[in-house]
Amino acid sequence: MTAREYDLIVIGAGAVGENVADRAAQGGLSTVIVEAELVGGECSYWACMPSKALLRSAASLRAARDLDGAKQAVTGRLDVAGVLRRRDAITHDWNDDSQVSWVEGAGIDLVRGHARFTGPKEVVVEAPDGTVTHLTATHAVAVCTGSAALLPDIPGLRDIEPWTSRDATSAHDIPRSLAIIGGGVVACEMATAYAGFGTEVTMVVRGAGLLDAMEPFASDLVRSSLEGLGVDLRFGVETTEARRDDGGAELVLSDGSIVSAEQVLVAVGRVPHTLDLGVEMIGLEAGRWLDVDDTMLVTGTDWLYAVGDVNHRVLLTHQGKYQARAAGDVIAARALGRRVDDRPWGVHVATADHDAVPQVTFTDPEVASVGLTEAAARKAGRRIRVLDYDLSWVAGASAYADHYTGQARAIVDEDRGVLIGATFVGPEVAELLHSATIAIVGEVPIERLWHAVPPYPTVSEVWLRFLEAYGRPTT
């Protein structure tokens, strides 16, 4: 057994763990990062990057076919093999050499293998070849292990070996038919991607709509789009049994109907990667999310941090990286005896993931949202005004496409005169989102936004339309 000591041990070398380690190393701490799979983690190889690669080509083809002059030049069908080649290139064929080089260049040590706690600040790592390394932290350990797909307790489901999001984003054989259990972000994105490949897609959704945490019009527009792609949507039903036969799989639904498909994708939620981490050795319950404060310090400890999905605050890569910058700064500051708020640069504590979270769902059309929805704002007791605008009425939309379909909503806190929420649905509206995020996080007064002039003709002119709907400033 090899024994090593560091100021900070980071468990998990995904985007979150990399940022914690990098920020702490920049702060002067000796840092080691432990990874059981690929350096770069879920986002690089099985989530954000490959899923967007799978979606982009078909979306571009549909956009070209909706533009006179371009559609006449589109004479072929989507080359699925080409899409998969591009996905493989973006994931570097699931090779992490470039990520390892970055870690080494940042002055961070890397230990490969499965980590388990043996006590406070004590971690044992078992490598695939059986080599064991004992790590001790003088100051802190950061758990950045992320989350995994939830498999619900449906009779027969595990026996049919369904896909999770990992399988869907890394597949090299595209099924003729795919049944998706779920109606959230992963379910909608993968339904869009596989329908674009020509796969016959059926979605089994327990609720009455899609993307139920978002504005209702987002659900309606995505639903219309999926139906236009030929997706069979089954709402208000649950899967009561799963079974496999020679032709594929069958899902028995609560209304008595049966869905048959070559493959089944389960996309109904996430669970934390804490089950086989040895957290019971430090007084925590295995398989549970880790509760933290705004410095990412785990409740009841003074040395253990949990960053990213595993703390269940916001399960999004960009928010995890934001938390990671805060955690790395705080760990370094505390280790060196500095007050947390004494750092002259960077993020001190994470607060933007309370009610200013930006998120993009890369369906076609895209859904981009930040802050509170109307329902969430009213539930919170805010006195609000809702501003709605049809994006197809903006001049930039007509320049973008011949048949632009989109909708935008802004939520204004009337007591403070600031924006607290925004949702955009339409082609490539993701690029509108950061301006809304800045307005919300910066608490920019509505009257001041009149001086942020949007260029013409672009879809961002919707900001002017919001202001016109709200009314002219009084001063």
pLDDT in tens, 365-420: 999 999 999 999 999 999 999 999 999 999 999 888 899 999 999 999 999 999 99
User: Which amino acid is present at 32?
Assistant: V
Domain co-membership, 256 together with 308: no
Per DSSP, 208 falls in state S
State the CATH number of the domain containing residue 297: 3.50.50.60
Domain co-membership, 389 together with 400: yes
Residue 346 pLDDT: 57
Strands (E), 262-319: 263-266, 270-272, 304-306
Residue 410 lies in a domain: yes
Domain end residue (candidates: 229, 248, 268): 268
Domain end residue (candidates: 268, 300, 315): 268
Packing angle of the helix pair 317-335, 15-26 (nearest 10 deg): 30
C-beta separation of 78 from 197 below 8 A: yes
How far apart CA 68 and CA 57 sit, in angstroms, is 19
Residue 381, class by beta-carbon neighbours within 10 Å (0-12 exposed, 13-18 middle, 19+ buried)?
A: exposed
C-beta separation of 260 from 177 below 8 A: yes
3-state secondary structure of 353: coil
C-beta separation of 120 from 315 below 8 A: no
C-beta separation of 29 from 8 below 8 A: yes
Domain co-membership, 116 together with 7: yes
Residue 164, class by beta-carbon neighbours within 10 Å (0-12 exposed, 13-18 middle, 19+ buried)?
A: middle
State the CATH number of the domain containing residue 387: 3.30.390.30
Residue 218 pLDDT: 98
Domain end residue (candidates: 268, 299, 317): 268
Going by C-beta distance under 8 Å and a sequence separation of 6 or more, which residues neighbour residue 354?
none
How far apart CA 358 and CA 433 sit, in angstroms, is 7
> Tens-digit pLDDT profile for the chain (475 aa)?
799 999 999 999 999 999 999 999 999 999 999 999 999 999 999 999 999 999 999 999 999 999 999 999 999 999 999 999 999 999 999 999 999 999 999 999 999 999 999 999 999 999 999 999 999 999 999 999 999 999 999 999 999 999 999 999 999 999 999 999 999 999 999 999 999 999 999 999 999 999 999 999 999 999 999 999 999 999 999 999 999 987 799 999 999 999 999 999 999 999 999 999 999 999 999 999 999 999 999 999 999 999 999 999 999 999 999 999 999 999 999 999 887 765 555 567 888 888 899 999 999 999 999 999 999 999 999 999 999 999 999 999 988 889 999 999 999 999 999 999 999 999 999 999 999 999 999 999 999 999 999 999 999 999 999 999 999 655 4
Domain co-membership, 167 together with 216: yes
Residue 80 lies in a domain: no
3-state secondary structure of 179: strand
Strands (E), 364-455: 366-371, 384-390, 407-413, 418-426
User: Which amino acid is present at 382?
Assistant: R
How far apart CA 61 and CA 290 sit, in angstroms, is 43
How far apart CA 184 and CA 202 sit, in angstroms, is 14
Q: pTM of the entire structure?
A: 0.94
Which domain range does residue 317 map to?
2-40+96-147+271-342
Residue 66 lies in a domain: no
Residue 89 lies in a domain: no
Domain co-membership, 308 together with 454: no
pLDDT 10s digits, 53-72 = 999 999 999 999 999 999 99
Altogether, the residues listed in the chain come to a count of 475
Domain co-membership, 262 together with 283: no
Residue 206 lies in a domain: yes
Q: To 5 degrees, how large is the angle CA 65–CA 66–CA 72?
A: 45
Domain co-membership, 108 together with 176: no
User: 133 is written with which tokens?
Assistant: 């390394």
Residue 153 lies in a domain: no
Domain co-membership, 171 together with 311: no
Strand (E) or helix (H) holding 200: strand 200-205
Residue 345 pLDDT: 54
Residue 475 pLDDT: 46
Domain co-membership, 135 together with 18: yes
How far apart CA 137 and CA 82 sit, in angstroms, is 47
Domain co-membership, 102 together with 190: no
Domain co-membership, 198 together with 218: yes
Using omega within 30 degrees of 0 as the cis cutoff, is the peptide bond preceding 272 cis? Answer: no
Instruction: Give me the number of domains the chain comprises.
Output: 3
Residue 347 pLDDT: 62
Residue 352 pLDDT: 86
Residue 403 lies in a domain: yes
Domain co-membership, 408 together with 327: no
Residue 371 lies in a domain: yes
Neighbours of 212 (CB within 10 A): 14
